[in-house]
Structure 1
């Protein structure tokens, strides 16, 4: 991809943020979206989320910074993003969705930008507000989260060519699918842990007997 191509992708990204319905439509129908920008938004949100927990003012944050594990939280954000996309893809495949898995990844990644920007701004504002002015911090987080939800709803609606009602049903089923995926993942992890413990026990028993 040349420099002009990269510039066009970024221009369309900001156009999608300001005009979600139009921007998401062209992502699906003219390949104007960028997976790399979507992944970058997820990565930046993960970093900003952890930095908010680490460096926000004590007025709005009662978390001990030393307990925050940035790599683990970043991995958690990325994993949740992937589970969301897989869950939505699995549901929409059964509900005649027109969007590809790539389109879902882009739609969800782009939608994180408002929440990322609002969280970064709220972190800075937290050091400027007095003890009775926490509402400004909460308002910023709330506005960013609300706009992210709006972008996600519009994105799913546009890439799958759904009505608003069908989109809401799809998102509800997506949450159900995510819970099932997480449950199955925990079962697999628990099974692997038990198998590992079993063979480790046998190995240790053989070591002590030899």
Structure 2
């Protein structure tokens, strides 16, 4: 338990000194699958809280029409695709990151959102529509920080140079698109095959 608490406390090191933080996550075991899973769960809770707590001025839909299960899928699937494409691209470009290290480092890359999203949601209730620019500015800062964290995650975990990391992030995004296209195509094929089999057996049974 103490080791887990130390790994969670280490989040502040990764947040404030991400280059050293990612290096130590990768090579010194400062994080674990359990601590990363807790951070992923915290990210999911933040997603729910942000939708529920953000003022209707800045979030008209709120939680209306979105079930917790849908939100879980919308949260987990993109992160899994990111990790998978990151791993696959790293495997063909001499990257140093294992899937485990990418799982852990991806969770820690979400820290700016985990820490700041709920305070921003609460702040939104004290703002008026005329102060929309203030909310937009802080939201942009959080998301920009997350983007920087993901860039440094790729660079440090995979052991890339600065421009090499940028090139490989583009490859990761391209691979992610291919994975989505393949998954959609596979789903369509399975659905068509299922419909064909149902019709086939119906006709066979009707013939008998």
1:103 corresponds to: 101
Range with bigger deviation, 124-133 or 49-58? 49-58
1:120 corresponds to: 118
Which string of whole-angstrom CA distances, capped at 9 and with x for unpartnered residues, describes residues 4-61 of structure 1? 2122212222211111011111111111112222222223223322432344212112
Match of 2:130 among 105, 129, 132: 132
Rounded Cα–Cα distance in structure 2 between residues aligned with 1:99 and 1:24? 11
Q: TM-score, normalised by structure 2?
A: 0.91
Change in 2 beyond 3 A, CA 1:203/1:66:
farther
Match of 2:81 among 71, 80, 83: 83
Range with bigger deviation, 153-162 or 164-173? 153-162
Gaps of 5+ in 2: none
Superposed counterparts of 1:18-29, under 5 Å: 18-29=16-27
1:170 corresponds to: 168
Change in 2 beyond 3 A, CA 1:5/1:199:
same
Match of 2:141 among 139, 143, 147: 143
Change in 2 beyond 3 A, CA 1:8/1:165:
same
CA apart distance, 1:69: 2.2
Match of 1:158 among 156, 164, 167: 156
Match of 2:57 among 52, 56, 59: 59
Rounded Cα–Cα distance in structure 1 between residues aligned with 2:201 and 2:138? 55
Match of 1:182 among 180, 183, 191: 180
Match of 1:49 among 40, 47, 50: 47
Gaps of 5+ in 1: none
Deviating 4+ runs (over 4 angstroms):
206-210
Superposed counterparts of 1:192-207, under 5 Å: 192-206=190-204
Rounded Cα–Cα distance in structure 2 between residues aligned with 1:133 and 1:84? 34
- Mapped contact 1:41–1:109 kept (Cα < 8 A): yes
| Secondary structure in structure 2 of the residue aligned to 1:67 | coil
State the superposition RMSD in angstroms.
1.8
Change in 2 beyond 3 A, CA 1:29/1:64:
closer
Which string of whole-angstrom CA distances, capped at 9 and with x for unpartnered residues, describes residues 91-150 of structure 1? 111111111111111111111121233321222112111121122222222111111111
- Mapped contact 1:119–1:140 kept (Cα < 8 A): no
Q: TM-score, normalised by structure 1?
A: 0.90
